[in-house]
Chain A
Amino acid sequence: MHMTFWDHANPTAFMRLSGAVLPWVSGAAGICLCTGLTWGLMLTPPAQGFGASVKVIYVHVPAAMMAINLWLMMVLASGLWFVRRHHVSALAAKAAAPVGLTMTLIALVTGALWGEPVWGTWWAWDPRLTAFLILFLSYLGYVALWRAVPHTEAAADLAALLCLVGSVFALVSRYAVLFWAQGLHQGATLSLDRAEHIANVYWVPLVVTIAGFVALSVALVLARTRTEICRRRIDFLQERARRA
């Protein structure tokens, strides 16, 4: 009998596949992060206008990118939940939220630390900074909603709805510097346009570090989704034992 993709997309298949992939992704994350962060901190020169503070780019930019991309991943997973009622996708979105929350917090903290010497202030109500603060609050709300609603399927529905609404702020976080030509924050650090691109001496270690953050985020989301599936199985077994 012919099996579709959706026939394979079930918790058992996910546990088997993620168990095989997880050690490799974790290893890649460790190698890329150690290489990229050491390279960025130790071997890159000071930049004109920024001095040695430019090295903050190696933690700030990858964290900010992952903060936005993880929310967009949650939007996709939430859409799948609404359309297909695919349970692993709802659990994957739930699993990704603490990872995205941490990435957003890192982006905010490192941005404040970087802003003080460069802009002369820890914080400004700049469009991108404000959008990131709202994104952080959206992550907090998403995590709190899953905890607050006792019925799992209702929690998945409400959290998915919040995720779709919050996607506005994820997009604003990404494109705020283009929407509003004001504020302190500079434009995109990475660009496909070579003229806008930062110098290779900074760009190459930055790409390695970004690869490390992506691999680490994937590893963490996979591991946390596996944990969520284990918890659901425990609930299932306990519920079945109560009914018996």
Chain B
Amino acid sequence: MMPDLEIYAATVLGAFGATLGLLGTLIAVTVWQGARARVRLARAEAAFGSPVPERPFHG
């Protein structure tokens, strides 16, 4: 049930559409990058061992 948006239909639907599109893209990229990093970490731990560095910038 879509409300009557009068002459502002393009404005309102455009704003909601742009917002949902940008947020959806950000969420998808975040989930994808996280999954990819976890897989790469699991492979690296299997290959090199799995110590947990408390200071992650330092080797």
Is A3's CB within 8 Å of the partner chain B? no
Contact partner of B30 among A113, A220, A241, CB < 8 A? A220
Bound-state Cα–Cα, A39 to B2, Å = 12
The answer to the question of A232 belonging to the interface, with a C-beta cut-off of 8 Å to chain B, is yes
Of the A-B pairs whose beta carbons lie under 8 Å apart in the complex, a sample of 19, sorted by A's number, is A41-B16, A52-B6, A52-B12, A59-B19, A106-B19, A106-B23, A113-B14, A114-B11, A117-B8, A220-B26, A229-B56, A230-B38, A233-B53, A234-B40, A236-B53, A237-B45, A237-B50, A241-B48, A243-B59
B5 / chain A contacts, CB cutoff of 8 Å: 52, 55
Interface of B (DSSP majority class)? helix
The proximity string for B residues 31-46 relative to A, scoring 1 for CB distances below 8 Å and 0 otherwise, is: 1011001101100110
Partner of B48, one of A52, A227, A232, A238: A238
CB-based nearest B residue for A91: B56
Q: Which of A97-105, A142-150, A163-171 forms contacts with chain B?
A: A97-105
User: Are B15's CB and A223's CB within 8 A?
Assistant: no
CB contacts (< 8 Å) of B26 on chain A: these are: 98-99, 102, 220
Interface centre among B9, B40, B41, B57 (most CB of A within 10 A): B57
Q: Is the CB of A237 within 8 A of B52?
A: no
Q: How far is the CB of A8 from chain B (nearest CB, A)?
A: 11
Q: A52-B3, A235-B59 are in contact. Are A11 and B54 (CB under 8 A)?
A: yes
Residues of B participating in the A interface, judged by any CB pair closer than 8 Å:
1-9, 11-12, 14-16, 18-19, 22-23, 25-27, 29-31, 33-34, 37-38, 40-41, 44-45, 47-59
Inter-chain pairs besides A53-B8, A234-B41, A236-B56, 20 sampled, C-beta below 8 Å: A11-B52, A11-B53, A42-B2, A42-B3, A51-B8, A52-B9, A90-B57, A106-B22, A106-B23, A109-B18, A110-B19, A113-B18, A224-B34, A227-B30, A230-B37, A233-B44, A236-B58, A237-B48, A241-B47, A243-B59
Q: Do the beta carbons of A56 and B12 come within 8 Å of each other?
A: yes
- Contact A52:B1 (CB < 8 A) given known A236-B53, A241-B47, A241-B48: no
* Given A37-B16, A106-B22, A113-B15: A236 in contact with B59 (beta carbons within 8 A): yes
User: What is A's interface to B at a CB cutoff of 8 Å?
Assistant: 10-12, 37, 41-43, 46, 51-53, 55-56, 59-60, 63, 87-88, 90-91, 98-99, 102, 105-106, 109-110, 113-114, 116-117, 152-153, 156, 216, 220, 223-224, 226-227, 229-241, 243
CB within 8 Å for A55 and B56 given contacts A99-B26, A102-B23: no
